[in-house]
Chain A
């Protein structure tokens, strides 16, 4: 497993891709989850009740960065795109749980779809932690399967 990580990230391009994906996901997620405010000035705040939610965002962003960058490497190496789809699904599921049910995104959904929107928004908010854990689980499996298949396929290619 370590060898696979070394192989992928010995190329600095993949480290940059991973860092880029991490921040591309991390900043929007902490913004819609209202940890980061841009007005009237930049403010970052975590309340004791939201510490777990913040940690899950960090883990989700990190796992997404690993899964997607490793799969980009895999696609370039063996031209198979199957697992990149799973990692993107895992990322989307985790990201969708973030919006607060009274934030601007939820407000738009509720005012457009009425009761149905309200139920959907409440569901995403109430089950935020389990949804994020599920997506982290999916990404964990994707990373595990990708490292396994990369170590196997790299040996074959060598």
Chain B
């Protein structure tokens, strides 16, 4: 009887381990395919293609690494971002760039692509802001393709051009590139992660939805 139990537990453990390895390897192969497809297209994608909020000549750049479905990113967006914009970005002291690291679900990638499609019509930051304002629970469909198109319509974008951009996956490579950069170059393993860097290359890293007081201290020390 005891032997049967041991065998049953052993079999269950082996099945679980095999399932985990199979799942992990299939997920990683998907990730590799994304990387390969972006390389195969032969496009030159660089972080300089990323939209900048504020003056390009500002003394400090805040790099935000985020996911549009991330609740902690929304927390930071709702409570801290506006103060930084008023006191550092609008005054020309700092600028902000957003690097997509969509990992929470498929809608995260679509939402990130949608911001770049909106950028084609000069509305990147407006679309970015609207996404965080409308954020709901992860993977509950709030950022599905239909909703993304509705957001574009409400912002007054040319929805035909927007849809064409989304359907053709025009910015899939850009988002894959951003995601890869976020995890390799910036070593981000959670969102939001912030890299604050000044013109002399001195950088400070903040992980999580830090309050405004933290940014104030770090930005002042780097300016």
Contacts and interface: CB of A to CB of B under 8 A. Distances in A.
> Bound pair: A and B?
yes
Contacts of B137: 122, 125-126
Contacts, number: 102
Contact of A102 (B67, B213, B217): B67
B109 to A, nearest CB: 12
B71 A118 contact: no
B71 A43 contact: no
B26 interface: yes
Contacts of B208: 34, 37, 103
Interface in B79-110: 79, 103-105
Interface size class of A (residues with CB under 8 A): 20 to 34
Interface string A100-123: 111110111011111110110110
Interface in A37-96: 37, 39-41, 43, 45, 47-50
A114 B23 contact: yes
Contacts of A106: 190
B73 interface: yes
A113 B211 contact: no
Interface string B64-81: 000101111101001100
A147 to B, nearest CB: 36
Contact of B24 (A41, A104, A113, A121): A113
Given A37-B210, A40-B204, A111-B27, A100 B139 contact: no
Contacts of B23: 113-114, 116
Interface string B184-223: 0000011110000000000011111111011001100000
A112 B24 contact: yes
Contact of B70 (A47, A101, A113, A119): A101
B67 to A, nearest CB: 6
Contacts of A125: 71, 137-138
B18 interface: no
Given A43-B211, A50-B75, A100-B71, A108 B189 contact: yes
Given A45-B211, A111-B27, A102 B104 contact: yes
A122 B71 CA distance: 10
A54 B185 CA distance: 34
